[in-house]
Amino acid sequence: MAPAPPTEDRTTEDRPTENRPVVTPPAEARPTEPASADAPAVAVEPRAVGAGTGPRPGDVAREALRAARAEARQSAAGSRTRAGRGTARGDGGARPRTDARTDARAAEARRHRGAHDQVAAERARAVRELLAGAFRMPSAETNGAEVESEAGFASGAEVESGAGFEAGSASGDSRATGGSSPEGAPSATPLSSAPALPPEPSRTPRSMAAPARDGDHRRTFPAFPPSTGGSFAGTWWGNAWVTALEEGALDAKRLARGRGYAEQGNVDAITVTPGLVLAYVQGSRPRPYRVQVRLRTLGGEDWERFLEAAVERPGHIAALLDKEMPESLAECGVPLLPGPGDLEPQCSCPDRGHPCKHAAALCYQTARLLDADPFVLLLLRGRGEREVLDALSRRNATRAARAAQEQEPEPLPGVRAAEALAERRLPPLPAPLPVPPHPEQPPAYPSVPNGPDSFALDHLATDAAARAHALLTTGQDEIGGLTLWRDAVRLAASRPGSGLTATTRALYAALASAAGRTPLELARAVAAWRQGGPDGLTVLEETWDPPAGRFDRARPLLLAADLPAFRPRRNHLTHPRGHVQLRFGRNGLWYAYESEPGDDDWWPRGTPDPDPVGALTGLGGSDEL
């Protein structure tokens, strides 16, 4: 039995380039036919519907993996063929003689195997490079067209391309296997027998948060947690942002749904760059939508006007450092805050509303960012926080230096040392003016509605004039040593008139409240003050034990005047009927008091007198005593 000729191991790289056309018909337009050994291998390049930027890295990686698997199957088939030939030689016992044509074919097969190993290594390296960047997270610079093309793959184009790729791969596999068959007959591999690939991992980004990529012109903020009701902005500039959104919206229902998305926390991490706010918003589908909100940046002249207005007032810089935006700074002639129609939303969803609910949710969450840090608004307008603060610092230093140069140094105030140390004699004081005989009458004060009482002002002015006159004539102010309570009693007692009128009641109420007493206590104290001055008030408020002498001789004197025997108690002598009382003061005077019988409610009466009988003279007839 003649040995089988060596199998030609031809890969797709060994075939001519014109035999590998690129076919991109839909899957349903290509019937599945068994591939023959004579048919050329077809390499199908899957493309997404509507994607004009070329195949995705994932599709190219799958094509390279399928090609590598086909070559692996060809290598396995060649190994089995060589093993069968070795067994046949072992059974025959002797190696048959081969002609020159067989030796040439064996040498050519060895060369092809070496080339095949080199090509396989190159393809493995290319697959590793493609897989390293095939599933990378989308960057902030990715435009909306790329996201829409990826969505087109997910909506059906990927399935069609995959089907076409499976057909092309199956054809190439069958050709390779047919060439290595011992019988040389072509073998067809049906589409269903192709090895199933693992499902492609989801390309949905988990988060846009990338703090490592942040800088002065790029800031990433974590997603806000869900909130329950309330407004999204608490400052006036945050509310201005929300007003610009709501006044420029064309559909209030979309705004309401966007507010609900924002309150539920469906907005992912937010990235802010000059003129752009970017985030992924989770809608009703599993795959979130990529949302952008654009805002025109300020030009150089606008920034110059803004910086000059901020430097003019130190309070503006202090407010910015405190994360606040003064209204006067925002109204400096520069369109810092957006107006209706200035916000330009873009979303990868099929909704063409202005804005859609996903863009509205991003705008509402952006208002929270502006609330916490107004420098986010400045970044949207084109400059970062550090850049703005550095510019303000330079301008402020320049203005301070210019002001210091323009201001002339003032001469230092002072006198020469010789003049300060020279001996000087002060002139004698002028003679004092003669003392007036009595205090002058104060001017009349008009009554003003809801103003102070003019009569009370006149009273205070008169009292102040009397104290000043006494101090000028005697050099002493006895009233200055009185307590608050005694001074209040003195002021009330010095008011002219008698009886509790409406004006007097108001004065008593004010003075009693200031001294912490009741008006009744103040009225009793005023009666004691009018009876005997400060000593009379002391007799009213103080009880003491007088020494033997004049107090003991008072009872016999009262009996000699045909008065009943008074009951002694400390410095008090009380009538047996309980309506008259004598009090002995420390100054040796007797003070008479009256009360209703049995009430023990004593009020000062009469005038003080050294004789107890004389103190009772003005209290009534002898029948009452």
pLDDT over 50 at 97, yes or no = no
DSSP E strands, 134-254: 219-221
- The answer to whether residues 167 and 44 touch, using CB atoms and an 8 Å cutoff, is yes
pLDDT at residue 196, as a whole number: 46
Length of the chain: 625
- Separation in Å, CA 202 to CA 117, 135, 136, 156, 261: 34, 9, 11, 15, 23
Report residue 158's pLDDT band, with 50, 70 and 90 as the boundaries: very low
Report residue 267's pLDDT band, with 50, 70 and 90 as the boundaries: very high
Average pLDDT across the chain, whole number: 73
* Cα–Cα–Cα angle for 334, 340, 344, rounded to 5 degrees: 95
**Residue located via tokens 């949302």:** 291
pLDDT over 70 at 74, yes or no = yes
pLDDT over 70 at 262, yes or no = yes
Determine which of 15-29, 76-90, 413-427, 585-599 has the lowest per-residue pLDDT on average: 15-29
- The answer to whether residues 608 and 531 touch, using CB atoms and an 8 Å cutoff, is yes
What phi, psi does 289 have (nearest 5°)? -105, 145
Determine which of 28-32, 85-89, 392-396, 421-425 has the lowest per-residue pLDDT on average: 28-32
Helix axes 502-515, 519-541, angle to 10 degrees: 60
How far is Cα of residue 22 from the mean position of the Cα atoms in its chain? Answer: 58
Separation between Cα atoms, residue 413 and residue 22, nearest integer Å? 96
How far is Cα of residue 429 from the mean position of the Cα atoms in its chain? Answer: 68
**pTM for the model:** 0.38
Pairwise pLDDT comparison (621 vs 113), residue with the higher score: 113
Q: Which two tokens stand for residue 48?
A: 């997404």
pLDDT at residue 73, as a whole number: 83
Q: Express each pLDDT in 377-410 by its tens digit.
A: 999 999 998 999 899 888 888 888 887 777 766 7
57: how many CB neighbours lie within 10 A of its CB? 16
pLDDT over 60 at 137, yes or no = no
Three-state SS annotation for 467-500? HHHHHHHHCCCHHHHCCHHHHHHHHHHCCCCCCC
Q: Using alpha carbons, select from 533, 462, 530, 522 the residue that is nearest to residue 489.
A: 522
- The answer to whether residues 317 and 392 touch, using CB atoms and an 8 Å cutoff, is yes
What phi, psi does 95 have (nearest 5°)? -80, 125
pLDDT at residue 145, as a whole number: 36
Q: Express each pLDDT in 459-508 by its tens digit.
A: 788 888 888 888 888 888 877 788 889 888 888 888 766 566 777 778 88
How confident is the model over 45-70, as a mean pLDDT?
Answer: 63
Q: Please report, rounded to a whole number, the percentage of residues in the chain having pLDDT higher than 70.
A: 69
pLDDT at residue 24, as a whole number: 39
Question: Would strands 344-347 and 289-294 be described as parallel, antiparallel, or unpaired?
Answer: antiparallel
Q: Which two tokens stand for residue 138?
A: 């989308």
pLDDT over 80 at 245, yes or no = yes
Query: Please, which residues have CB within 8 angstroms of residue 388's CB and are 6 or more apart in sequence?
Result: 307, 320, 375, 378
Pairwise pLDDT comparison (206 vs 515), residue with the higher score: 515
Task: State the DSSP H helix or E strand holding residue 279, giving kind and residue range, or none if neither.
Answer: strand 276-281
pLDDT at residue 209, as a whole number: 61
Report residue 18's pLDDT band, with 50, 70 and 90 as the boundaries: very low
- The SS3 of residue 217 is coil
- The SS3 of residue 454 is helix
Please, what's the b/e burial string for 586-602 (b: 16 or more CB within 10 A of its CB; e: otherwise)?
eeebbbbbbbeeeeeeb
**Residue located via tokens 């509402």:** 364
pLDDT over 90 at 281, yes or no = yes
Q: Please report, rounded to a whole number, the percentage of residues in the chain having pLDDT higher than 90.
A: 10
pLDDT at residue 274, as a whole number: 94
Query: Please, which residues have CB within 8 angstroms of residue 534's CB and are 6 or more apart in sequence?
Result: 482, 486
